[in-house]
């Protein structure tokens, strides 16, 4: 197994995070705005709405590929996990209170408590991400024990079980999002542990994912046209089949997009700064209550399905959601980081707190030594008794 020295975070992968989040917002615009695409008619707008679904679930796969790539060589941080959970809960709580303050919702304590627990009841991606991060230390230990051939064979088997068989058999062996995330994490980690890219390989990566994207676009248009021609609603509904999160074509496309960006090395502080807010952007615009207002109340996209202004509306709305969510995330992060750092600093510089912690540690050490001495004496006595019995 090849071991890599710790590298600085590649801005090209941070740029990929940003691009993925834009595609996720586009996807949510298409699926949450109340569009009804039927086989009775076909138009530029109806095809465009289906096209906007291309990157959403694929982008989620790419996010986890990036996470696996970085986390495989990172130590688990309880502080990081707690900060993430506190941030999620703070954002959800603040949004609920703001909506109530502006008279947009009625106050309900049970609903507030449930919504605030984003890490338990939040959007599926966030909940799955938290579970995956908690499991990452165990996963990493197991993965690092594998040789390259074993690892690669395992990936092939997992892709067959999770992506190929369910797609060919109509969702047989289809489980939950966490298994898809686990596979993407494993694949992302593989590229960190074993693969060294070259410029020539990267050109191949671009050709492969470019060809796959063109195939997906062609399939969407073909299904739409055939559905309209034969008045078959099932063909319309299946037009995004190759974009699903566990579809083998979508997974392979995500892998080659990730490989391409991974091999472009450059540094940009602004890109890195913006990319830190991408998880926050997801949490905010997918807030269980706020999302209803974003997609169905505040200038809903469904009203533009038959209008030429749809493409302009999509661009403006996606841009506004992206920018506003980044601003909210930066404000929350600034307040929380300062608050948490002050608490940590206060504890570390407070003599009473340090004295109390010191006393607790001493008592724990004493208890440990007592238990250890008891254990040794007990084992020694058992050994003596055993010897006497033998005699």
pLDDT tier, 265 (very low <50, low <70, confident <90, very high otherwise):
confident
Whose tokens are 């470019």? That residue is 210
CA-CA distance, 277 to 9, in Å (whole number)? 15
pLDDT digits (tens, 9 = 90+) for 27-74: 999 999 988 889 988 999 999 999 998 888 999 999 999 999 999 999
> Domain span at residue 254?
11-349
pLDDT tier, 99 (very low <50, low <70, confident <90, very high otherwise):
very high
Alpha carbons within 13 A on the beta-carbon side of 140: 18
Alpha carbons within 13 A on the beta-carbon side of 346: 6
Q: Six-digit token pair at 176?
A: 């939950």
CA-CA distance, 277 to 270, in Å (whole number)? 12
pLDDT tier, 346 (very low <50, low <70, confident <90, very high otherwise):
low
Q: Six-digit token pair at 73?
A: 């060589």
Instruction: Tell me whether residue 180 is in a domain.
Output: yes
pLDDT tier, 339 (very low <50, low <70, confident <90, very high otherwise):
confident
| pLDDT at 5 (0 to 100) | 47
- Same domain as 390, residue 321: no
Instruction: Tell me whether residue 6 is in a domain.
Output: no
- Same domain as 298, residue 191: yes
CA-CA distance, 330 to 280, in Å (whole number)? 9
CA-CA distance, 47 to 25, in Å (whole number)? 18
CA-CA distance, 3 to 262, in Å (whole number)? 17
CA-CA distance, 387 to 199, in Å (whole number)? 70
Q: For the chain, what is the domain count?
A: 2
Per-state percent for the chain, helix, strand, coil, to nearest 5: 80, 0, 20
- Same domain as 288, residue 161: yes
Instruction: Tell me whether residue 220 is in a domain.
Output: yes
- Same domain as 389, residue 303: no
Residues 6+ apart with CB under 8 A from 120: 127
46 and 305 in contact (C-beta within 8 Å)? Answer: yes
CA-CA distance, 65 to 194, in Å (whole number)? 14
- Same domain as 133, residue 46: yes
52 and 27 in contact (C-beta within 8 Å)? Answer: yes
- Same domain as 83, residue 209: yes
Instruction: Tell me whether residue 71 is in a domain.
Output: yes
Choice among 131-135, 169-173, 180-184 with the minimum mean pLDDT: 169-173
pTM value is 0.84
């Amino acid at each position: 197994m090849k071991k890599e020295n710790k590298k600085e975070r590649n801005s090209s992968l941070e740029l990929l995070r940003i691009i993925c989040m834009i595609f996720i917002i586009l996807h949510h615009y298409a699926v949450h705005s109340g569009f009804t695409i039927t086989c009775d008619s076909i138009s530029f707008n109806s095809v465009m709405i289906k096209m906007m679904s291309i990157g959403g679930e694929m982008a989620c796969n790419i996010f986890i590929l990036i996470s696996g790539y970085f986390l495989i060589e990172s130590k688990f941080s309880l502080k990081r996990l707690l900060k993430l959970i506190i941030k999620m809960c703070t954002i959800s709580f603040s949004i609920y209170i703001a909506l109530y303050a502006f008279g947009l919702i009625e106050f309900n304590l049970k609903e507030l408590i449930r919504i605030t627990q984003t890490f338990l009841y939040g959007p599926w991606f966030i909940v799955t991400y938290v579970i995956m991060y908690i499991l990452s230390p165990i996963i990493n230990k197991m993965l690092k024990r594998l040789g390259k051939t074993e690892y690669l064979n395992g990936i092939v088997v997992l892709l067959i079980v999770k992506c190929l068989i369910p797609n060919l058999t109509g969702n047989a062996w289809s489980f939950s999002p966490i298994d898809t995330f686990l596979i993407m994490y494993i694949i992302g980690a593989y590229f960190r542990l074993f693969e060294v890219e070259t410029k020539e390989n990267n050109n191949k990566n671009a050709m492969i994912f470019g060809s796959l994207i063109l195939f997906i676009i062609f399939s969407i248009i073909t299904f739409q046209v055939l559905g309209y021609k034969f008045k078959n609603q099932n063909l319309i509904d299946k037009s995004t089949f190759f974009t699903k999160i566990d579809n083998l074509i979508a997974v392979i496309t995500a892998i080659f997009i990730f490989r391409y960006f991974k091999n472009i090395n450059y540094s940009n502080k602004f890109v890195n700064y913006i990319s830190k807010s991408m998880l926050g952007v997801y949490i905010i615009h997918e807030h269980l209550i706020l999302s209803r207002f974003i997609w169905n109340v505040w200038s809903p996209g469904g009203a533009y399905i038959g209008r030429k202004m749809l493409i302009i509306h999509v661009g403006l709305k996606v841009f506004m959601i992206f920018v506003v969510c980044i601003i909210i995330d930066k404000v929350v992060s600034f307040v929380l980081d300062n608050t948490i750092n002050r608490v940590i600093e206060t504890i570390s510089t407070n003599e009473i707190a340090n004295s109390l912690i010191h006393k607790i540690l001493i008592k724990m050490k004493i208890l440990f030594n007592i238990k250890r001495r008891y254990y040794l004496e007990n084992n020694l006595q058992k050994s003596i008794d055993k010897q006497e019995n033998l005699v």
